[in-house]
Amino acid sequence: MRSAGFTIEERQSFETNFLNKGFVDTFRKQHPGVVGYTYWGYRHGARKTNKGWRLDYFLVSESIADKVHDSYILPDVTGSDHCPVGLILKL
């Protein structure tokens, strides 16, 4: 079964169109081993079982990637099927 947002083509497109064009995924750079979901569908209690997707990103150009002090996800903030993401830059 194919799942929108998680197909091989979509993941490759993200890499091809952003990461290979000089953008940096700030959360992944700061937290390489953390799963860090930002979206959980309302059906089947996905948030409670932590079966989600990471759909929300802060991408920066490689030229300022070293200015990223922190990039974070706030998974405990509710009120939406997405949670807030944050970015702190030291310019």
Residues comprising the binding site for Mg(2+)? 81-82
Q: Report the relative pairing of strands 59-61 and 23-25 from DSSP bridges.
A: antiparallel
- Whether 62 and 22 have beta carbons less than 8 Å apart is answered as yes
Name the binding residues.
Answer: 81-82
Rg (CA), the chain: 14
| Cα 74 to the center of its chain, rounded Å | 11
